[in-house]
Amino acid sequence: MDQGIFVPLVLGILEGLTEFLPVSSTGHLLLAGHFFGLTQPAVFVVLIQLGAILAIITVYFAKLFELLRDALQGKKGAWLFALNVALASAPAALVGVLAHDFIQQVVYESPMTICVMLLAGGIILMIVDKLPLKPRYTDIYTYPWHLSLIIGLFQMLALIPGVSRSGATIVGSLLFGTDKRSAAEFTFFIALPIMAGAFVYDFYKNKDMILNGGLGLDILIGFVAAFIVGTIVVRYLLDFVSRHGFRYFAWWRIAVGGLGLIVLWPMG
């Protein structure tokens, strides 16, 4: 296979596989570039997330349509859920815009930071997964507004590569009273505005590079791969989490972060 096709294909598969798991998709993509030379411009990483966005829409199309219909009919529950999604998305969106250049030009360039965050996040996820927590909230459509805002504040931590957006929100959700299944499900819905906003913002800032710089085919390949793999993950993740919790993802983070630090240590 031509290397020009191979790289965006592998990165698209990696994006779809890791975007909704609490393992940090951005961290994995950046480490794939650092250690294996699987590199694309930073804007590629953000734009192929559109495939993951469409994966959520595809799997939850009926529910999203129902929520939209209920909102248009003025039903309180639908508007409350929309408010909760907005509250959970706002903190990360605001900080992401204000610190966009710093995050992409400074933080993204530190594989050591990514590995430390993967390792630390894995340990935290392992501890929280084993805590004898008693959930008070098991239905994402009835989360109270203050819980959604707290989850949004945790999501802000994911602006640091290696932290994981879903990992941060899941930890915050569990610590403040949700069960594991609904914690994972809520991350799907609050991903939509965050990822869609990042897509639009980065597309606007880099439209000349995308349209005239030969990235179109690479983005298309990465997008399709992310969509297909992301759809599979979204469809089956909740049942997996219900049966096994998050310990396997925690061990994966610890393994990847620890191995990365071992490799990077002599370089320091």
Per-residue pLDDT band for 1 (boundaries 50, 70, 90) equals very low
From 206, 18, 26, select the one nearest 110 (Cα to Cα): 26
Cβ neighbour number for residue 69 with a 10 Å cutoff: 11
Cα distance between residue 19 and residue 136, in whole Å: 27
**Whole-number pLDDT of residue 216:** 75
Q: Give the burial class of 105: count Cβ atoms within 10 A of its Cβ; 0-12 exposed, 13-18 middle, 19 or more buried.
A: exposed
Instruction: Give the predicted TM-score (pTM) of the model.
Output: 0.87
Eight-class DSSP state of 43:
H
Whole-number percent of the chain with pLDDT over 90? 58
Q: Which residue has the higher pLDDT, 93 or 22?
A: 22
The owner of tokens 């913002």 is 201
Per-residue pLDDT reduced to its tens digit, 162-204 = 999 999 999 999 999 999 999 999 999 998 888 888 778 777 7
* Cα separation of the two ends of the chain: 35
Eight-class DSSP state of 118:
H
**Whole-number pLDDT of residue 2:** 46
* Res 213 pLDDT > 80: no
Whether 195 contacts 230, CB under 8 Å: no
Cα distance between residue 176 and residue 187, in whole Å: 15
